[in-house]
């Protein structure tokens, strides 16, 4: 995920071998299909024809935080400028109504000293709101209205400071910034693990600060039709995972392989290697947890379409023991290697007796071919001896 920002090279973060993996000849690339979740985790959904736009204004703070930085900075600047101009106009009107702009006698006491034009009223408004206080202008006790406006402007200035500074802080401390260092393998793999056909991905964390209570969820998004004939264009199906720690929680200190056993309850149960490449299916991976340093919940997402699921591959090890400590080689994070894997579906394997029966048949076939070769060699040697 970092590679999209240009922070880490593509070949370092993800895989070099997996990008050029040779699949069987009957695998053909499909035409591009819209993804539900992009590889960088953004949701590919456009919300249109929203009639009740006023609902966004009911939660102004969240709306400000969700805006782009340019729009936020423009609002930040305009909120102060508008408030200074507004109260500058009010101070000028107070001075104009009291006659401070024309009177200059020795016995005359103005509402605000040294206000002779709108420019001086605008400067006084800035001094009041940001509490600069140069000393040249000040409010006197002559006008009660001036004292009330002074109190109101201070309160309004504090509210603007609190809202805008809080908005800027929340934008800089957003949880998706921490998700930039939570990485996923570029490809998912399907291979045999512990005598079971499994779907696997690899996740990792580049920072030393941990993700507390990290959990991983996998969902399959596909087009489905109910028994009543209703078409569900984006049917989200949760799939069970066989994680290294036994539950959905993970201890993400080093890269982990998240495994899903393809059994009868799996949406991948009836898909063979050939059918998978022609199936409009997308597997979404979601990693959630609490940032150790800030206590903010973060979430990282990615997805794998059928072309990004490599059948008959497994991930190469990345952790090794060096000088009494474990070292992680992230250059191998997405690398895969070929392993013997049946190309039939998990359902077909269960019908023929499971993966153990498949290996047994494979071994019988292998021994038979070896025997034929030995017999041919013996026959050739006997013919040579007779000649």
CB neighbourhood size of 132 (10 A): 10
pLDDT value of residue 383:
59
Most confident option among 98-112, 146-160, 172-186: 146-160
Q: What backbone phi and psi angles, to 5 degrees, belong to 37?
A: -130, 130
Residue 83 has pLDDT above 90, yes or no: yes
Q: Summarize the confidence of residues 310-334 as an average pLDDT.
A: 88
pLDDT tens, position by position, 239-268? 887 654 445 578 888 888 989 999 888 888
Q: What is the DSSP string of 307-369?
A: GGEEETEEEPP-EEEETTEEEE-GGGTT-EEE----SS-HHHHHHTT-HHHHHHHHHHHHHHH
pLDDT tens, position by position, 18-73? 334 444 444 444 445 678 888 888 887 877 777 776 676 777 778 888 888 899 89
Checking 339-344 for CB contacts under 8 A at 24+ apart, the result is 339/191, 339/192, 339/312, 339/313, 339/314, 340/192, 340/312, 341/190, 341/191, 341/192, 341/197, 341/311, 341/312, 342/192, 342/197, 343/24, 343/272, 343/273, 343/274, 343/311, 343/312, 344/272, 344/273
Q: Summarize the confidence of residues 144-161 as an average pLDDT.
A: 92
pLDDT tens, position by position, 272-290? 888 888 888 889 999 888 8
pLDDT value of residue 292:
82
Best CA proximity match to 358, nearest among 366, 349, 367: 349
- Return d(Cα 287, Cα 297) in angstroms, integer: 11
* pLDDT class of 3 with cuts at 50, 70, 90: very low
Q: Summarize the confidence of residues 339-343 as an average pLDDT.
A: 88
pLDDT value of residue 214:
86
- Return d(Cα 329, Cα 331) in angstroms, integer: 5
Strands 297-305, 281-291: pairing kind? antiparallel
pLDDT value of residue 6:
43
């Amino acid at each position: 995920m970092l590679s999209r920002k240009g922070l880490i090279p593509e070949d370092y973060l993800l895989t070099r071998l997996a990008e050029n993996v040779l699949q069987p000849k009957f695998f053909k690339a499909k035409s591009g299909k819209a993804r539900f979740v992009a590889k960088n985790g953004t949701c590919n959904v456009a919300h249109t024809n929203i009639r009740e736009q006023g609902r966004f204004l009911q939660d102004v703070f969240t709306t400000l935080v969700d805006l782009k930085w340019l729009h936020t900075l423009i609002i930040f600047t305009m909120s102060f400028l508008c408030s200074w101009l507004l109260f500058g106009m009010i101070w000028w009107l107070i001075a104009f109504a009291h006659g401070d702009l024309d009177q200059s006698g020795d016995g005359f006491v103005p509402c605000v000293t040294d206000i002779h034009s709108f420019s001086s009223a605008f400067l006084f408004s800035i001094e009041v709101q940001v509490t600069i206080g140069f000393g040249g202008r000040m409010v006197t006790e002559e006008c009660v209205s001036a004292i009330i406006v002074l109190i109101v402007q201070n309160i309004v200035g504090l509210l603007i400071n609190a809202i805008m500074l809080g908005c800027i802080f929340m934008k800089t401390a957003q949880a998706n910034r921490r998700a930039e260092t939570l990485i996923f393998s570029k490809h998912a793999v399907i291979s045999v693990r512990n005598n079971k056909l499994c779907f696997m991905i690899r996740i990792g964390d580049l920072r030393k600060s941990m993700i507390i209570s990290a959990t991983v969820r996998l969902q399959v998004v596909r087009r489905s039709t109910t028994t009543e004939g209703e078409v569900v264009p984006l049917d989200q199906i949760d799939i069970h995972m066989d994680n290294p720690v036994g539950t959905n929680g993970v201890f993400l200190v080093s890269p982990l392989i998240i495994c899903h056993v393809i059994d009868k309850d799996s949406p991948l149960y009836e898909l063979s290697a050939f059918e998978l490449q022609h199936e409009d299916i997308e597997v979404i991976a979601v990693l959630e947890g609490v940032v150790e340093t800030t206590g903010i919940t973060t979430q990282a997402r990615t997805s794998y379409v059928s072309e990004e699921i490599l059948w008959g591959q497994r991930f190469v090890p990345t952790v090794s023991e060096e000088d009494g400590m474990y070292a992680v080689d992230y250059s191998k994070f997405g690398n895969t290697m070929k392993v013997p894997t049946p190309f039939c579906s998990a359902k077909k394997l269960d019908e023929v007796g499971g993966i153990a029966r498949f290996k047994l048949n494979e071994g019988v076939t292998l021994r038979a071919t070896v025997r034929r070769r030995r017999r041919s060699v013996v026959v050739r040697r006997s013919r040579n001896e007779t000649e």
